[in-house]
Amino acid sequence: MLRTLPASLFALILLALLAFLSPRIVALAPLYTDKDLRGTVRIDVRKLSTELGWIVSDMPVVAATPRTFTFLYRPHHRHARGRPDCYVFYFVTNHVAPCASE
């Protein structure tokens, strides 16, 4: 029992971290399995960045479906406070709405 404790502890830490990451991986899975979706999201993120002047690294994509993708807007600068804003981009209507209004 004592002999296996360190390895069990390590496995537990790894599993806890994996469980923490899993929801985001599942939410982004379509991005990795659908090449067309990946291309569309890339183009639309670029378009949003161009139109709003937002820096791409300030707007990480956190979820994707065949109809929408969700991204956060977290501008990085000194003493940035508060939670990032969450937006959903709708492919069909080509518009953005805050996540809360879904």
Partner 1 sequence: MIPLIGLEILALILVAAQAAGGVRTDEAKYLLNIPYPHPPLARYALNLLDWLPVQEMFWRVTMATLVIQAVWIVWDMGRRLDLQPRFFLAASWVLAAAVLLQAGTIMMAPLTAVQGLVLIWWWAREGDGGERLESSGSVVRWLEKRRLAFALKPEWRALGVGMFWLASLFTAYQAVVFLPVVISLLRRIGAPGWQRVLSCLGPLVLLAAYTLTNPLIGASILIHGEDGGDLSLLERLRGVSLLWLVGGSALGSVLGTWGIARSRSWPLILSFLLLTAFLLGSVPYPYYAVLFTPLLVAGMREALHSKTSLAAKPLLPAFIAASLVVVFLFPPSFSPSPARAAMQAVIARGREGDIFITQDFGHEWQYESPFIVRHFRRQLLEAAQAVVCQRHCDDLGFDWQLLPVAGVTLPEVWVRSDRGAPESAPAETAQPPGPRVNVNAAGKVNVKGVTDGQ
The residue ranges that bind partner 1 (CB under 8 A) are: 2-7, 9-11, 13-14, 17-18, 21-22, 24-25, 28, 31-32, 42, 48-58, 60-61, 73, 75-80, 85, 87, 92-98, 101
Q: Report the distance separating Cα 63 and Cα 7, nearest Å.
A: 34
Angle between helices 35-52 and 5-33 (to 10 degrees): 80
Tell me the closest approach of the beta carbon of residue 63 to partner 1, in angstroms.
11
Residue (52 or 66) nearer to partner 1, CB: 52
In the complex, minimum distance from the CB of residue 84 to partner 1, in angstroms, rounded to a whole number: 11
Question: What are the residues whose beta carbons fall under 8 Å from the beta carbon of 45, sequence distance 6 or more?
Answer: 56, 59, 61, 71
Minimal distance, residue 66 CB to partner 1, in Å:
16
Please state the φ and ψ torsions of residue 13, each to the nearest 5 degrees: -60, -45
